[in-house]
């Protein structure tokens, strides 16, 4: 039994070091690298499942849908910021515009109400992209379940 403990310690020493709450000791700041190694070890364990996920994304073309969604959110952020900046008192930074694009696309909820015509048009387009994305996602998953 004692040999099993030492074998376990020898094979999992990075996990053991990663679990030690070392943030109290400034001298051990280098051990953050060990936490990164532990994360890489976990990703290696899930490599088989990640391959299946990427295969699913490619077969169903969900990778293209996700790319379109991210592109729309990026463009919507920049366009909304350029049209509403200085006009809308609720819009204080580019981060606010990004938050508007994310919530509008993903949840359909308008956090910062647009004031200008083009801001309203951009918001409508973001909602349309979000609704279309979730429609495609639900269609693909329902086909796979049946």
pLDDT value at residue 24? 57
The predicted pLDDT at position 60 comes to 83
pTM across the whole model: 0.63
Q: Could you tell me the residue range of the domain that residue 89 belongs to?
A: 50-145
What per-residue confidence (pLDDT) applies to 146? 64
Same domain, 95 and 77: yes
pLDDT of res. 22:
57
Query: Tell me: the pLDDT tens digits for 71-85?
Result: 999 999 999 999 999
pLDDT of residue 74: 95
Q: Are residues 18 and 63 in the same domain?
A: no
Q: Specify whether 121 is located in the same domain as 55.
A: yes
Q: What is the pLDDT of residue 138?
A: 85
Same-domain status, 110 and 63: yes
**What does the pLDDT read at residue 41?**
77
Examine the domain organization and report whether 21 and 41 are in the same domain: yes
* 86, 109 contact by CB (below 8 A): no
Contacts of 114 (CB under 8 A, 6+ apart): 80, 83, 84, 88, 120, 122, 123
CATH of the domain at 89: 1.10.287.70
Nearest CA among 94, 96, 116 for reference residue 104: 96
**Which residues of the chain register pLDDT less than 50?**
none
Domains held by the chain: number: 2
């Amino acid at each position: 039994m004692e040999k099993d403990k030492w074998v376990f310690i020898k094979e999992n020493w990075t996990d053991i070091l990663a679990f030690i709450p070392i943030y109290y000791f400034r001298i051990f700041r280098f051990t953050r690298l060990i936490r990164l190694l532990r994360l890489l070890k976990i990703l290696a364990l899930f490599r088989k499942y990640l391959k299946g996920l990427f295969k699913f994304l490619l077969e169903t073309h969900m990778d293209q849908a996700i790319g379109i969604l991210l592109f729309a959110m990026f463009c919507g952020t920049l366009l909304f910021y350029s049209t509403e900046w200085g006009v809308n008192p609720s819009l204080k930074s580019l981060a606010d515009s990004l938050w508007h694009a994310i919530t509008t696309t993903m949840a359909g909820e308008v956090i910062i109400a647009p004031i200008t015509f083009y801001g309203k048009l951009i918001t409508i387009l973001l909602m349309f992209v979000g609704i279309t994305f979730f429609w495609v996602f639900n269609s693909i998953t329902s086909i796979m379940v049946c």
